[in-house]
Structure formats: structure tokens, C-alpha cells
Amino acid sequence: MTVQRMDNVAVVVDDLPAAVAFFLALGLELEGEAEIEGLFADHTVGLDGVRSAIAMMRTPDGNSRLELTKYHHPAPIGAGPAAPNTLGLHRVMFAVDDIDATIARLRPHGAELLGEVARYEDSYRLCNLRGPAGIIVALAEQIG
């Protein structure tokens, strides 16, 4: 048996509407929202009494999805923003057509550059920024 595809990446957030607004500003589309609870949720994630709200965001090409999750119960555990060299999930990267315009759209939603926009040879302009719940969101603009 082989993997068919990567279905989604999930990010736990404390403010679901703000996270949805951030990723809408980035250019993702809201696929749907749902309240999640019950034994299937408890069994799936390995916690008791799960009550959460999710928003499924989809890239415009329809090939990738980002699940934003707000836990009502049990309460989320605060981890703080990770540094780029922290073990574990590093970042989520999106290809954009105009990196400067994208950054400008995301700043009102709390985005902060971790460094600066850098050029990789004659191929890409790249940057890392801090997004919802402290996650690192990388942007890549192909230039060559």
C-alpha cells in the first residue's frame, strides 16, 4: 500500500476567526467549518472530552489544505513561538505570485517578518514570517 496524497496540515490556534482572516488574506479559500466532538474525536486524537471548532482552508489550485483548529476542551497547551531551528514541524510554505504584496496584505493580520525577503540565485525570492499561533509561514516567489 502506498500513500495516495498528503491530505492536510493542521495548526492549533487560539483565535480561529483571526487565523481564518490571515489565511484568507494570504489567498487560501475557506472550504468549510465544523464543530468536532464525540467518541470518534476522542479516539482519533487520544484526548478525552474533545470539543473543537475547525476551519478547512484550501489553496486556490485545490491540491493542498490547511486545517485550523480551536480547542474548547481540553484547553490548548501553550508552547510559545518556535524558532526556525526548533525540532519538529518547521514551517508551512506557500508559493505566491508577488511576495511584497502578500506581506503587505498579511501585516494587518499580525504577520511579522523573521528576517527579510532574500533572493536565492535567479530563481526565487523567499521569506519567513510569524503567522497565527506563532507558526512560521514561508513565502516563495519564483522569479526566474
Torsion of CA 47, 49, 53, 58, to 10 degrees: 30
Q: Give the pLDDT score at 24.
A: 98
Read off the pLDDT of residues 62-98 as tens digits, 9 standing for 90 and up. Answer: 999 999 999 999 988 877 777 778 777 778 999 999 9
Percent of the chain scored above 90 by pLDDT? 75
Q: Is pLDDT above 90 for 120?
A: yes
Task: Indicate the fold that domain 9-73 takes in CATH.
Answer: 2,3-Dihydroxybiphenyl 1,2-Dioxygenase; domain 1 (3.10.180)
The three grid cell numbers given for residue 65, joined into one nine-digit string: 489544505
User: Which uninterrupted H or E stretch holds 17?
Assistant: helix 16-26
**Where in the chain is CATH 3.10.180.10?**
9-73, 92-142
SS3 label, residue 90: coil
Which CATH architecture group holds 92-142?
Roll (3.10)
pLDDT for 4-58, tens place per residue?
788 899 999 999 999 999 999 999 999 999 999 999 899 888 999 999 999 999 9
Residues whose CB falls within 8 Å of the CB of residue 136, separated by 6 or more in sequence, listed in order: 82, 84, 90, 91, 92, 114, 128, 129, 130
